[in-house]
Copies of this chain bind each other. A is one copy, B any other.
Amino acid sequence: MSTRIAKPAARMRKQPRQARSIATVEAIIEAGAHVLSELGWAGFSTNKVAEAAGVSIGSLYQYFPDKLALVEAIRRRHFDHVLSVIREAAADEKPLKQFARELVRGMIGAHSIHPTLHQVLLDEAPGDRGSRAAHASFQARYLEHYAAAVAQYRKRRKDTETMARVLSSAVEGVIHNAARRNMLDAPELQKQLIELICAYVSGQGVRV
């Protein structure tokens, strides 16, 4: 009980101990993210990942017991990243405009390396029974942060949760779509997305 491993480190066949193997594992995860984003779940094969990582297939199976464990590792890394972005954007008490700006900037950053990874992870890639729980918890915390932000700029406590859902999926939709068209860093698109967020959150509730 002296040393405690921070994270269960996903399901791994063995822990990398030397710097060499740590780099290998990192390369595999990175290459996996790349393949997943580029070829989708259909094109995601362990051999292809190993090749893209510049590593033999045997090395991959030295650390990851199977394909799913690898996907899980990729998922965890990406979700941690996204979560930190929204958490930081929603932290402190800042003007709405600034929140929107930081959110958009961060989200774009999180998607610009592996543009379609997020969607593939959400839509295509399966998960073993254990990762469903992790996935759900991610979604929950994700929404919580959005909800916190919405609540902060809204008097009406009413539809906070639904608003968070709508806002988050709208933002994701725009980012995802822009990523597909290689328009992630078009400045006028960023501006419009920020405006969308501000308009919706600060909206005076048009009667519908």
Using a CB–CB cutoff of 8 Å, the interface residues on chain A facing chain B are 40-42, 97, 100-101, 116, 119, 122-124, 159, 162-163, 165-174, 176-178, 180, 186, 188-189, 191-196, 198-200, 202-203, 205-208
Contacts and interface: CB of A to CB of B under 8 A. Distances in A.
B176 A169 contact: yes
Count copies of this chain in the complex: 2
Contacts of A196: 166-167, 170, 196, 200
A123 B42 CA distance: 12
Q: Is the interface of A mostly helix, strand, loop or mixed?
A: helix
B124 A42 contact: yes
B166 A192 contact: yes
B206 A198 contact: yes
Given A169-B178, A199-B203, A202-B206, 11 more contacts: A101-B208, A162-B186, A162-B188, A165-B189, A165-B192, A166-B193, A169-B173, A195-B200, A196-B200, A199-B199, A199-B206
Contacts of A159: 188, 191-192
